[in-house]
Amino acid sequence: MGYADFLYFCNQKTKNNKNPMKEQIIESRIQECQLSELTAEEQKAIHLAIEGTRRSYTPYSNFHVGAGVILNNGQEYIGCNQENAAFPAGLCAERTALFAAGAQYPDNPVKILAIAARGTDDELTEEPVSPCGTCRQVIIETETRHSQQVIILLYGRRCIYRMEGIRHLMPLSFTEF
């Protein structure tokens, strides 16, 4: 079956289908703001993330990512990406911060997670940087574990993206098996 035949087949299938596919609209709420518009605690998390960019070990990509975590009890953690010549052995900033917090205070929920990055020019990125899929899944598990949404802040020099809960970045998530 060639491409044209495939298109004809699909069009005929659609025309003859008495039960068309249901369409769902999924919305994400992401606020775009400036540092001065955030609470003092959210600003602190951003500063922790920026500090984390200075602590990262990135000899291969030279892309420095930092994460700042604040728990409900006020404890603060800094995470940073750690690269390794065997690339799968490295770890992202978000996970280093979340795992450190979970190891020290396993029963205390994460309140705020902030992420910042520096490019190869050593400047903080102009636009906010988003967590990778693996980190998004870890954030989902963090929220699920404590039955509490995490305030997520993605820092960029131009603006900060703020959202209440990871599901705004990953609306179709895997939470159980």
122-135: per-residue pLDDT in tens? 999 999 999 999 99
User: Which pLDDT score, from 0 to 100, does residue 20 have?
Assistant: 76
Residue 31, by phi and psi: left (phi above 0), alpha (psi -120 to 50) or beta? beta
pTM of the predicted model as reported, rounded to 2 decimal places: 0.86
116: nearest Cα among 64, 158, 61, 155: 155
Fold of 31-168: Cytidine Deaminase; domain 2 (3.40.140)
Q: Domain-by-domain residue ranges, the chain?
A: 31-168
Concatenated DSSP letters of 121-152:
TSSBPSS--PPPHHHHHHHHHHHHHHT-PPEE
Q: Which residues are catalytic?
A: 94
